[in-house]
Structure 1
Amino acid sequence: MFKDKQITMATLSESDWKARLEEMAEDSGYFEPLGAAHSVFFHDDTPTLLVTFETRAGIRADDDGDQLPRGYQIARAAGCSSLTLICDHDSWFRDPAVFAYFDRLVDEAFFEDFDRVVFYGAGPCGYAAAAFSVTAPGATVVALHPQATLDPAVTGWDDRFRQMRRISFTDRYGFAPEMLEGVGQAFVIYDPLQPLDAMHAALYARPCVSLLACRNIGENVEWMLRGMAILDDILIAACQGELSELRFWQLYRARRNLPRFLRQINAQLDAQNRPYLEAIVCRNVARRLNGPRFRARLVVLETELAEQGIALPDPIQIGAL
C-alpha cells in the first residue's frame, strides 16, 4: 500500500499514518492499538531496548518530515531495539488497556530478553516512563520534568491539570516515585526555578534517583535539550550504560551555545534588575557567538552603567557561563 517512495508520513491521514507504522513493523516487530486512545510500536533489533512514551501530536508535529516516533529514530541510529507507547492525547497513560499490555509483557518475561532497558519520557510521558519502569527491574530511567502523581490528596497544589483529577492515580502503577525502587538508576531532569516542577521532582528523591536541577532551562525541558542537540546523546549514553551525572553535566555545557537559553538568563536578570550581570552575559555571548541582539543590548547596558560610574571588568577575568 505504501511502497511509493514519494509518499511521506507528513502527507498521510491519521488512519493511513497508523497503517504505515503497522507496515513498517511487519518484519521486525509490531504495531497495535491499546484500547481507544493508545497504541504501541515495537522494533526488535539488538539486546538493548529503548522504551519511550510519546504523544501522537508530538510525533506528527516533528519538523524533520519523517513523523516517526523519536524513540524509534534514536534507537535505529544507535542500533538498538525500541518500544514506543503512543497516546492520542495527554493521558498520563492511565488506561486499563496500557496496564494490561505491561502485565502481558511481565507474564511473557519480555524484558528479560534484553541485556539493558532504558525508559524515557517528558512531562506526562515522563511520569509514565517512571511508573511503568517497575515492570523491568534494573532498568535505567530518564524522565524530564515528570509529575509524581496527580492525586489531589498528594499534589493538590498543582492546579495545571484539573481535568485529570477524576482519573485514579491511586491504583496500579499509580505513584511513580515508588515504581522506581527496583530500577538500576533514574535521572530526573527539571528546572528548579519552575516551582511546580521542582515540587514534583522533590517527591522523586530516592537513593536510586539523580535529581538534575537545570536552572533556567524552563518548563519545556525536552524542547530545550533538543535545541542543544544533546537529547539523543543523553539517551544513547543511557542505552550504552554510560550515562552518569558527570556525563550529563558534560553534555549540558552545550547550553552555552543555545541563544534561547541565553535569552532566558538575560530575561531573568532584567526582571531582577541586575544590569551588571546582564551586561557580562551579553558581552560573553556577543564575543563567542557574534549575537547581534546581545551586542545591541550590551551597548544599552554599558551606557546605563557608565552613567552610574560602573565599568565592566576585564574580559579575561570573566569565567565561562
Structure 2
Amino acid sequence: MRKALFRSENIEVVKVSGGHTDVVFVTFEPKLLVRPPERSGFGEAFFAKRGYTAYHVRCRGNDWYHYPDMEAGLAALRADIPPATRVVLYGSSMGGYAALRFSNWLRADAVIALAPQASVDPTRVGWEKRWAPETSVLIWDRLPPHPNAACYVVYDPFDADRRHVAILRREAALVPLHSYFSGHHVTEYLMESGLLESLLVSVARGEFDPPAWQAELWRRRLMTSYYSVIRLRKCRTLLRRWRYDLIERWLDLRYRRVAARRPLAALPLEAVPRGD
C-alpha cells in the first residue's frame, strides 16, 4: 500500500508498506534534472519488490533539502515507525548528503550513503565546482550525523568525493567503502557489479561484512562500464599509467588475501541480484 504521510510545497513523504516488520528503509532523492509529479521514490520499486517497508522523501528541487519544513516532515515520518524497528537511511549524492545530515532526527540504526557530499556551503567547500544548491539558505548544512548509527559511505577514492568524505570523517565514525574508478557514478557502478542489493539487504539484516564485500567489489570492477572508461581516462600519460598499474597490483594482492580469509557469504534466494 502506498500513501502520503506528509506533504508541503517543498517536500513529500511517501510510505510504501511491505511484509518485513523488523526493518524499514528511508530514502532521499538525488539531484535530478526534472521532477515529474508522478515519479517514484528513490529505490521504490526495489524495496517494494522485496517486501521492505520504505519511506521515500521527495523534494521540490535541487535545494539539497534546505527547507524549513524538513523537521516537521521527518518528525511525521519518525512517528509512523513502530518502536524497536531497525531504521536504515539510504541515498546517493544529494540524497546521501541528506541521509547523513538527517540521521540524528530519524534515530537511524544505519546509513548507506553513496558518493555523498559533506557540505554545499561554498565557505566550507570552495573547491567544489561541480554543483551547488538552488538556494542560498543553507539551514541544515551543519547537522551532525547520528553518533550511534553505522554509517557506510561508498565512494571513489580517486575522485573529488574523497575530499567530502575526509570532512565527514571528522564529524562521525564512518565505514568507508571504495568503488575504485567509479567517479561520482557509484550507484550505477554497484548496480553493474551486482553488489548493490547485497549491500542493502545485508545492512538491513545487520549482517554486513565490509571487508568481504569490499574485496568482492574490487574483483567485480571489470564487470562495470565505468571502470573501463574512468581507468583509461586517468592514464593519459606514461607516468600516470605506471602509477595506476602499481596501485592496481597492490590492490589485487590486498583484496585477494582478504577474499581468501573472508569470502562474501552467499545471499539467500530473495537477495540474488536480478538486474532490476
Task: Give the TM-score of the pair, scaled to structure 2.
Answer: 0.75
Q: How many residues align?
A: 246
After TM superposition, list the pairs within 5 Å mapping 1:196-215 onto structure 2. Answer: 197-205=161-169, 208-215=173-180
What amino acid is aligned across from residue 147 of structure 2 in structure 1? E
SS in 2 for 1:181: coil
Q: Deviations over 1:204-243 (max 9, x none)?
A: 1156311223331112211221222222221111111122
1:255 aligns with 2:237: no
2:265 is aligned to none
Q: Which gives a bigger RCO, structure 1 or 2 (Cα 8 Å, sep 6+)?
A: 2
2:236 is aligned to 270
2:268 is aligned to none
In structure 2, distance between residues paired with 1:276 and 1:247: 28
In structure 2, distance between residues paired with 1:36 and 1:60: 14
Q: Are the counterparts in 2 of residues 59 and 68 from structure 1 also a CA contact under 8 Å?
A: no
In structure 2, distance between residues paired with 1:162 and 1:272: 35
1:40 aligns with 2:7: no
Quickly say closer, same or farther: Cα 1:123–1:277, change in 2 above 3 A: closer
In structure 2, distance between residues paired with 1:132 and 1:77: 26
Q: Are the counterparts in 2 of residues 33 and 40 from structure 1 also a CA contact under 8 Å?
A: yes
What amino acid is aligned across from residue 85 of structure 2 in structure 1? D
- Whichever of the two has the greater Rg, that structure is 1
1:165: how far off? 6.1
**Identity %, equivalent residues:** 23
Quickly say closer, same or farther: Cα 1:262–1:76, change in 2 above 3 A: same
1:78 aligns with 2:50: yes
1:159: how far off? 3.0
After TM superposition, list the pairs within 5 Å mapping 1:269-308 onto structure 2. Answer: 269-272=235-238
1:48: how far off? 0.9
Of 181, 187, 196, the residue aligned with 1:222 is 187
Q: Are the counterparts in 2 of residues 57 and 88 from structure 1 also a CA contact under 8 Å?
A: no
In structure 2, distance between residues paired with 1:259 and 1:158: 26
Task: Give the TM-score of the pair, scaled to structure 1.
Answer: 0.65
Quickly say closer, same or farther: Cα 1:161–1:113, change in 2 above 3 A: same
Q: Are the counterparts in 1 of residues 31 and 93 from structure 2 also a CA contact under 8 Å?
A: no
In structure 1, distance between residues paired with 2:151 and 2:215: 18
1:174: how far off? 3.0
Quickly say closer, same or farther: Cα 1:59–1:35, change in 2 above 3 A: same
Quickly say closer, same or farther: Cα 1:55–1:148, change in 2 above 3 A: closer
What amino acid is aligned across from residue 135 of structure 1 in structure 2? W
SS in 1 for 2:158: coil
1:67: how far off? 6.1
1:166: how far off? 1.1
Identify unmatched segments of 5+ residues in structure 1: 1-23, 281-318
After TM superposition, list the pairs within 5 Å mapping 1:96-111 onto structure 2. Answer: 96-106=68-78, 108=79, 110-111=80-81
Of 104, 110, 134, the residue aligned with 1:134 is 104
Root-mean-square deviation (Å): 3.4
Q: Are the counterparts in 2 of residues 48 and 116 from structure 1 also a CA contact under 8 Å?
A: yes
2:263 is aligned to none
1:53 is aligned to 28
Identify unmatched segments of 5+ residues in structure 2: 247-254, 257-276
1:115: how far off? 2.4
Quickly say closer, same or farther: Cα 1:93–1:268, change in 2 above 3 A: same
In structure 1, distance between residues paired with 2:242 and 2:190: 28
Query: When you count helix as a share of all residues, which structure comes out higher?
Result: 1
